[in-house]
Structure 1
């Protein structure tokens, strides 16, 4: 129940959930019946209703603007780019965090790669380049449906890595972790068992700042970030704004609302880590 609540409650802090909640509160605050405009209590309730509903609509609109989502995503991806070193050192293992794959359940013919599938592809590439002898696929089963037939994501990722040509003896799995904090804890324990000192951490760029904060606090390992799956080109490579582009950036868009939500989740998690733990430092060769 605690894990379920940890997934559900934050939804009310993101633009869609919070905006709808404010609109519901606005409906509840609206005066009942026809009422008389001269009634002070009715007038105050009507004003409160309009304010709550308008704020809810405005919040959803703001989160759904491409202009907003770009700024939020850039704020994370620029940090990730700065964290990732130009020359990667050798390490004891490449750790690929869960996310970005779909299980081989019918009618699919095998494991399928979604938006974040760059994580696994990048991890396999690093092992093939000889930067580490082992690939660790991570990710548990996160499902709230009964009798879900999908195995933990770490197993699908292992299967796909083998299909991509990586030998089975060079792949380890971490199938029990459902959150980034649990991944940091469990991979840290795996590293202590095997005598590791350094790992290459592969995840999406927007997820990297929070992942680094988590792993540096919880894993006990030296963690070298390897960011991938960038959602946007850098600001300098985005192009010059035009009238059409500016207008389009102000009109609500479903994909922009999704990206804003993803970015806010990461910014919120990162803020909590910075308030709860000692400051963390970017990895530096030494």
Structure 2
């Protein structure tokens, strides 16, 4: 065991490995939480047992990154999350919310991909209307963030004007679960049947499961994946995919524990 000063220096260095792990789990972590995570790891180095935990944890992180970069692990995990079905005639196209760039008030790439797919299905005549999620700013970490659905609707109007699809807003949306509940209420109220559910590939299994748990008749039609190449041939793409994969598997676990799947 190193002496205390050396141990603290080593703990400070090893704690830096916790920061990428924190960003993998939550990419929206700000500077304050990241510094807090680093300080917590460093202080853990004061304790002999804590230092061993930090050392082993850092080693496991390194092994995980190596497995992601150099093995087919990422591709196998991604394939387990995808539910992609052939589109059918439906009453409604549900475009699930993605992300927002709150500072400039623009749709993030995943939101654009989902909206593009929803409009593609509408143009092909699969359904006459689509839903957009009227989100609250807090879900993106900034109460001033504009509604994702309102920004998306403005984009639809700019593209198609009065000849565009009928847009139905789902109010006060925060999660996939709240979107599923809102759509379930909507189809029951209006007597609609089949729904085309549009989201990015790795989000599709959790999304379709949440809707079917409520009894909604959904067909899962995935959009493109704008954040990385779904073939996952390069180490860079496999690293880019790690964050959504971790979040989705944690999301599946959470939804199952809560009885939402």
Match of 2:53 in 1: 52
Aligned: 1:15 with 2:21: yes
Alignment gaps of 5+ in structure 2: 1-17, 26-33
| 8 Å Cα contact 1:100-1:118 kept in structure 2 | no
Alignment gaps of 5+ in structure 1: 1-11, 32-44, 239-244, 281-286
Match of 1:207 in 2: 203
Q: 1:115 to 1:177 in 2, by over 3 A?
A: closer
Match of 1:183 in 2: 179
Match of 1:132 in 2: 127
Question: How far does the alpha carbon of each residue in 1:234-267 deviate from its partner, in whole angstroms, 9 at most, with x for none?
Answer: 47xx4xxxxxx7xxx4xxx7x7655323211111
Aligned: 1:232 with 2:229: yes
Match of 1:4 in 2: none
Q: 1:50 to 1:90 in 2, by over 3 A?
A: same
| 8 Å Cα contact 1:100-1:119 kept in structure 2 | no
Aligned: 1:158 with 2:153: yes
| 8 Å Cα contact 1:139-1:174 kept in structure 2 | yes
Distance apart, 1:197 and its partner CA: 1.3
| 8 Å Cα contact 1:63-1:256 kept in structure 2 | no
Aligned: 1:263 with 2:245: yes
| 8 Å Cα contact 1:90-1:132 kept in structure 2 | yes
Equivalent-residue separation in structure 1 for 2:42 and 2:165 (angstroms)? 60
Equivalent-residue separation in structure 1 for 2:40 and 2:69 (angstroms)? 28
| 8 Å Cα contact 1:69-1:257 kept in structure 2 | no
Kindly report the root-mean-square deviation, in angstroms, between the aligned alpha carbons of the 2 structures. 3.5
- Per the normalisation by structure 2, the TM-score is 0.71
Q: 1:159 to 1:29 in 2, by over 3 A?
A: closer
| 8 Å Cα contact 2:24-2:242 kept in structure 1 | no
Equivalent-residue separation in structure 1 for 2:63 and 2:152 (angstroms)? 36
Secondary structure of the 1:174 match is strand
Match of 1:94 in 2: 93
Question: How far does the alpha carbon of each residue in 1:68-96 deviate from its partner, in whole angstroms, 9 at most, with x for none?
Answer: 8973464234542xx322x3210001000
Aligned: 1:216 with 2:215: no
Match of 2:188 in 1: 192
Equivalent-residue separation in structure 1 for 2:22 and 2:107 (angstroms)? 29
Q: 1:73 to 1:274 in 2, by over 3 A?
A: farther
Structure 1 or 2, whichever has the larger Rg, is 1
Distance apart, 1:138 and its partner CA: 1.6
Q: After superposition, where does 1:17-166 map in structure 2 within 5 Å?
A: 24=39, 27-31=42-46, 45-46=47-48, 48-62=49-63, 64-65=65-66, 66-67=68-69, 71-72=73-74, 74-80=76-82, 83-85=83-85, 87-102=86-101, 111-112=106-107, 114-143=109-138, 144-145=141-142, 148=144, 150-165=145-160
